[in-house]
Amino acid sequence: MTLTRELCRAVRVYLGLNQQELARRAGISVSTVRDFERGLRVPVKQNLLALTRYFEEQEGFDLGKLEAAFTRSRI
């Protein structure tokens, strides 16, 4: 599973979080989330893992299935 900036934003919005809240819950900086979603930089591996881990820990949430649906909708 690859967390793209578009998928990150879509999941964050789906979960009803702003960038500050996602950063706090994932244990990373707000600038990391903001810059990733804007396409200004790709987070270091540790921060990508923190985001992915946070998303996957949400009850009933399957990031892999969402990624597949998101990818299909963009084709």
* pLDDT (tens place) for every residue of the chain, 75 residues total: 688 999 999 999 989 999 999 999 999 999 999 999 999 999 999 999 999 999 989 877 777 777 676 666 655
pLDDT at residue 31 in the model: 98
**Domains with residue ranges and CATH for the chain:** 5-73 (1.10.260.40)
pLDDT at residue 62 in the model: 74
Give pTM, 2 decimals.
0.82
Q: What DSSP string runs through the chain?
A: ----HHHHHHHHHHTT--HHHHHHHHTS-HHHHHHHHHTS-PPPHHHHHHHHHHHHHSTT--HHHHHHHHHHHT-
